[in-house]
Amino acid sequence: MLSGLLDGIFSGISLGSVLLLAALGLAIVFGLMGVINMAHGELMMLGAYTTYMVQNALKGTPLFGIYIFIALIAAFIVTAIFGLVLERGVIRYLYGRPLETLLATWGVSLILQQLVRSVSWQLVTIVALFCLLFFGAMWIVARRTDFERARGWFLTIMIPLSAAAAIATGNVLGTLYKPAFTKLWFDARNVDVTAPKWLRGGFPIAGTQFSYARIFIIVLTIACVVGVYWFLNNTSWGLRIRSVTQNRTMSACLGIPTKKVDALTFALGSGLAGLAGCAVSLLGSVGPNTGQNYIVDTFMVVVVGGVGKLAGSIIAALAIGTANYLIGSNTLVDLTAPIKPLSDTFAFFSTISMAKVLVFALIIAFLQFRPGGLFPQKGRTVDA
């Protein structure tokens, strides 16, 4: 029974640490900009795929033993750049409209999922060529002083023109170099990341197997939390982020570049999603839908934790992870066996999917007492 409980707590914490890693970036971005990024799960997925690609690239080289660290860095950089593009390209036009942002980022997540399924050199060429033509032309034309007036015409002419040119070139190249050029990179199938040798297996304590991969994830999560905490509290940009989170207008008045802060924070949050994706890839195979499995739980962490403090996210993630595992496994059923009705109730909820039902009910009940989460942001506005 003790080993069962130990096992339950360990698994719960490791589940919670994955959630925390995923929720960390989301919570920071949500706290700062009030924006829920529905594509966060897909950014995780991109991180996982980056890990897969790094693993394939380093296979057979002496670096393979430590590829996971290289993959972590690569995943962070790739997703951070992607987040930056997303913020600059879409989200910055939608500040102050959180619901619209939610829909727009959902659109981005759909595109990303399909992108992973159908990415090939052909598609990459088409997109790159389109961007080159369109933004190149924009760069040239935008120097004219009367650009604002001709903007509508420019868009209606240049978008179809560059799209047609890019697609035509892509198709011609596709037929010329048929198999290599049009071959899909990943396909719709799931891909597997094999952990390096020193991460496989685990060590037993009191009859429970502690897997190294899960311990690695817990350590990674702790490192990330400490890193983010240090960044927010000890650097000048961290100070600016905290300041804008507390009061955007006042910060802007005091000369803090809020737009830069927004972009930087979004990139940071996306990069953290990439790290989470890297961690997730160690737990199982990775597919285009991987992100979807984590996203709702991650949102719940943000809702329960509140946006005021990092500690809220930590406690919420660990609580939700542990509760999910304890209810979903049979641990609680065994523990409460002496009390028959209680044990029967837990037995009814003791599958992974039914555990979510009970956890959601608990969250709703919790929000009746603390609508703003564990650590709500303090303020004097009417709706706080």
Partner 1 sequence: MILAHRSLEAGSLQLEIKLVDALIQSKPKARQRLLLEAGIVAAIALLLLFVIPPILVGSGQGFRVNLLGRYLALAIAALGIDLIWGFTGILSLGHGVFFALGGYSLAMFLLLQLPDGQLPDFFSPYGVTELPWLWQPFYSLPFTLFAIVFIPTIVAAILGYLVFRNRIRGVYFSILTQAALIVFFNFFNGQQKLINGTNGLKTDTATIFGQTVSSPPIQAFLYTLTILLLVGGYALSRWLTSGRSGRLLVAVRDDEARMRFSGYDPTMFKVLVFAISAGLAGIAGALYTVQSGIITPQAMNIAFSIEMVIWVAVGGRATIVGAILGTLIVNFAKSILSEQYAQIWYFFQGGLFLIVVTVLPGGILGWLREDGVRLVRSQINKRRPLQTYPSLEEDPDVQYERKNLTNRESDR
Smallest distance from partner 1 to CB 212, Å: 31
Alpha helices in the chain (DSSP H): 2-33, 40-58, 67-89, 98-118, 121-141, 147-176, 178-182, 212-234, 236-246, 248-253, 258-281, 290-305, 310-328, 331-335, 340-348, 352-369
Q: Which two tokens mark 195?
A: 């952990």
Q: Which is nearer to partner 1, 63 or 296 (CB)?
A: 296
Q: Are 85 and 109 in contact (CB under 8 A)?
A: no
Q: Which is nearer to partner 1, 7 or 262 (CB)?
A: 262
Q: Are 46 and 82 in contact (CB under 8 A)?
A: yes
Smallest distance from partner 1 to CB 184, Å: 10
Smallest distance from partner 1 to CB 338, Å: 27
Q: Which is nearer to partner 1, 193 or 244 (CB)?
A: 244
Q: CA–CA separation, 124 vs 222, rounded Å?
A: 37
Q: CA–CA separation, 219 vs 20, rounded Å?
A: 12
- Summarize as ranges the residues that interact with partner 1 (CB under 8 A): 30, 34, 36, 90, 93-96, 98-104, 106-111, 113-115, 117-118, 248-249, 252, 258-259, 292, 296, 299-300, 302-303, 351, 353-354, 356-357, 360, 363-364, 367-368, 371, 382-383
Q: Which is nearer to partner 1, 106 or 154 (CB)?
A: 106
Q: CA–CA separation, 109 vs 103, rounded Å?
A: 10
Smallest distance from partner 1 to CB 203, Å: 34
Smallest distance from partner 1 to CB 259, Å: 8
For 245-270, b/e burial (b = at least 16 CB within 10 A) is: beebeebeeeebebeebbbbbbbbbb
Q: CA–CA separation, 200 vs 174, rounded Å?
A: 41
Smallest distance from partner 1 to CB 316, Å: 13
Q: Which is nearer to partner 1, 113 or 270 (CB)?
A: 113
Q: Which is nearer to partner 1, 214 or 248 (CB)?
A: 248
